[in-house]
């Protein structure tokens, strides 16, 4: 359980299945061992590709938290968090938004096409400033979104942009498991 005044960390995964080696899973475990209150948004059982179902899953987790929240989102979880923030957003003191995808452009094979994403309510992605401080962590060689596009998103959301270098999509498929910098960026958000 978090110490008084310490925000609950809400992990917002992308659309892929749970991966034990993923940095969000590792971060959640590390924080829980340190007696932090950590909640992970589970994928909806129905309508998993639907934005509304993903946003509602996040909303249900946040609604169960008493006190402040900090969001830690990755990939499509970033887009979920942004959609949620523009509908709700109360109680959030900050958000770490790592490697958001570009849902307006074709993604690599195995990912939904732009038309399918649009039909499921993901686009257009909100571009208004977020109602809380945020950090967007961007890869310089992310196959799901070019750096210039991520920089535009960060600017539009009013987020501080952190360039991570060549980390692909910052996931095990890109050769990345634990991401120690996530804890540092989280601590920075909580200090502000």
Domains and CATH numbers, the chain: 8-191 (3.40.50.1820)
What local confidence, expressed as pLDDT, does residue 3 receive? Answer: 59
pTM of the model: 0.95
> How far apart are the C-alpha atoms of 99 and 138, rounded to whole Å?
5
Q: Tokens for 190?
A: 């909580």
* Contact by Cβ (8 Å): 12, 77: yes
What local confidence, expressed as pLDDT, does residue 41 receive? Answer: 95
Task: Give pLDDT tens digits along the chain (192 positions).
Answer: 445 678 999 999 998 777 889 999 999 999 999 999 999 999 888 888 999 999 999 999 999 999 999 999 999 999 999 999 999 978 999 999 999 999 999 999 989 999 999 999 999 999 999 999 999 999 999 999 999 999 999 999 999 999 999 999 999 989 888 899 999 999 999 887
What local confidence, expressed as pLDDT, does residue 4 receive? Answer: 60
| Residues in CB range of 69: below 8 A, 6 or more apart | 7, 8, 9, 10, 62, 91, 92, 93
| Residues in CB range of 171: below 8 A, 6 or more apart | 16, 19, 22, 23, 74, 75
* Contact by Cβ (8 Å): 114, 183: no
């Amino acid at each position: 359980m978090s110490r008084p005044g310490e925000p609950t960390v809400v992990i917002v995964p992308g659309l892929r299945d749970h991966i034990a080696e993923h940095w969000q899973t590792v971060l959640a475990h590390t924080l829980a061992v340190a007696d932090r209150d950590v909640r992970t948004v589970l994928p909806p059982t129905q309508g998993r590709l639907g934005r509304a179902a993903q946003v509602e899953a996040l909303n249900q987790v946040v609604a169960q938290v008493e006190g402040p929240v900090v969001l830690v989102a990755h990939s499509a979880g970033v887009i979920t968090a942004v959609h949620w923030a523009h509908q709700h957003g109360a109680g959030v003191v900050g958000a770490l938004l790592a490697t958001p995808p570009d849902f307006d452009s074709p993604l690599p094979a195995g990912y939904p096409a732009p038309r399918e994403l649009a039909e499921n309510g993901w686009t257009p992605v909100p571009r208004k400033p977020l109602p809380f401080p945020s950090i967007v962590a961007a890869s310089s060689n992310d196959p799901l979104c070019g750096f210039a596009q991520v920089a535009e998103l960060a600017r539009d959301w009013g987020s501080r942009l952190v360039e991570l270098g060549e980390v692909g999509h910052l996931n095990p498929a890109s050769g990345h498991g634990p991401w120690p910098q996530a804890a540092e960026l989280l601590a920075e958000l909580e200090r502000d």
